Structure 1
């Protein structure tokens, strides 16, 4: 059941993302046709019941009803419950699209040609907008493709404002790093003074980063009172010694870029 629900949600958002032009065309054509037919029928009935003045009163009444029930109310519901409304409306829109597709295809063709004449790009040539990415992420979350933490990470990227590189980079002269020969006790002093939880470890020159030392690992060894004079390069936990594992304080070189917080 969960799998079927996930496929249904993916189908809904796939239609909106991949063929939004057809969806919008169907909505516009259908709403326009309904408005025209409703006006004709309503005014005719009003005139037959109330006489010549009925046409005017019928037009006023129909305009009021249309503004509230066709324009204001549906759009307010759509804005406040976009995801739910999308799931409910895409299936009937697909049915309506099959009925009005000849008109829709013709209008879409004319619209695309008109846009190209004025230098506007079609949907297929344009880049993906933030709103489209948010829609895709929303569908992926609901279908279980990504979890909540991944969704929040992507949303954070989308919400990130433009920044200069210098605002997120640490100048070389300000980098707090330790040589691999430094003792654990000395590294603890560096951790206390700098306040960082991860310190880069270099071999020879500071440009040659070989890993990072974790403040938590240093504190663990210091509390145990073991290996405090051992170089950080040789730090091993008792569990690692028993299992033949590696250093706990030194992380892979790829993680060194995250050392400065």
Structure 2
């Protein structure tokens, strides 16, 4: 009963004969328990009968109590505590060995076991318990996450983190990984042609949004490879850009990451604009952003987190809460604001001045820099693990 069912299924797939028999027995635990208890009780009753007879013959009726005490101790040590403790510690060894005995015994005593189970199942049904409906062992997402979390010694750290990230995909939305609107690098067709060429030549991104005045008036995406091929032409103008645009793709802000990954795959696109319920652009997301959630940083960039010698962290406040949690292995809440700046402003209900100290959801923080509209840099002070 204590055997690891998932390891058992693995061994069955590898055609382990003892595991196959044990798995077959565990498909009907009511019959297995019936058989074991049938033998168990028969042996106990038989033993007490024999001890009673022996006690009377040796010392009369007064010796029955002594015999009962000796038998209780013997059964407790040799038939209950010792073998069951061993079975709890080494369930596979005993299960695979005993399965060879239980399978033929079940066939021999099947009529008795069947009658016992029939009566027991009818009694259980009176209390609303149906044995046939409770056989399938299932595991939910949180239990699977716990199993993976405890399996860190069985695999390299990077793969372990990837598996945990995949399990967390369902709880994250596109808003958690997008590039915020104020950080989007794009081409404004209202700018002079010289400025546009400079943006194209200096861009680190392969696809750029093209818009007029505001990102809300986006016309499409321009592939850098296409653009650079005709920027060298003397007659290059803005019409060359508008003629080579890829149709813009819009993503609702609360779309789950795993759903969006499937959309990207089905539509064969790699980039989209995140919009709110009014159609206003909130940010930009790429396929690489989604993959980064699983595999971690695709490139070694300066993420704006600097660990100090005293154990504190200097953090760029525009960093997302999820990214900081990933880097520092913390548990700041991700349900509300998506950036450290947003989290602090929501917590303080104002934009704090430099030098302000606060305890942000259990993490001691000092405000280092701010501008007119936001906090720009903070310091997370050292704290004792387990006190946040």
TM-score range, shorter chain: 0.5 to 0.7
Paired position in structure 1 for 2:291: 258
Asked whether the equivalents of residues 211 and 256 of structure 1 are also in contact (C-alpha less than 8 Å), the reply is: no
Matched, 1:37 2:46: yes
Matched, 1:94 2:132: no
Q: Deviations over 1:124-170 (max 9, x none)?
A: 45542449xx9xxxxxxxxxxxxx87xx98xx88xx8xx896x5334
Distance in 2 separating the partners of 1:75 and 1:62: 18
* TM alignment of 1:43-122, pairs within 5 A: 43-122=52-131
Distance in 2 separating the partners of 1:3 and 1:71: 29
Q: Deviations over 1:170-194 (max 9, x none)?
A: 416x513989997796149xxxxxx
Q: Which of 119, 123, 127 lines up with 2:132 in the alignment?
A: 123
> Normalising by the residue count of structure 1, what TM-score does the alignment of the two structures yield?
0.55
Structure 1 residue 38: deviation in Å? 0.6
Distance in 1 separating the partners of 2:202 and 2:292: 17
Distance in 2 separating the partners of 1:74 and 1:122: 28
Matched, 1:176 2:179: yes
Higher relative contact order, structure no. (Cα contacts within 8 Å, ≥ 6 residues apart): 1
* TM alignment of 1:208-219, pairs within 5 A: 209=264, 210-211=269-270
Structure 1 residue 108: deviation in Å? 0.5
* Unmatched 5+ stretches in structure 2: 1-10, 144-153, 188-199, 207-221, 224-245, 252-262, 272-285, 297-388
> Normalising by the residue count of structure 2, what TM-score does the alignment of the two structures yield?
0.39
Q: Deviations over 1:68-103 (max 9, x none)?
A: 111111110111111111111111112322332221
Structure 1 residue 119: deviation in Å? 0.7
How many residue pairs were aligned? Answer: 183
Distance in 2 separating the partners of 1:22 and 1:35: 20
Asked whether the equivalents of residues 39 and 59 of structure 1 are also in contact (C-alpha less than 8 Å), the reply is: yes
28-37 or 2-11, which deviates more: 2-11
Q: Kindly report the root-mean-square deviation, in angstroms, between the aligned alpha carbons of the 2 structures.
A: 4.3
Asked whether the equivalents of residues 48 and 54 of structure 1 are also in contact (C-alpha less than 8 Å), the reply is: no
**Hey, which of these two has a bigger chunk of strand by percent?**
2
**Hey, which of these two has a bigger chunk of helix by percent?**
1
Q: 1:184 to 1:79 in 2, by over 3 A?
A: farther
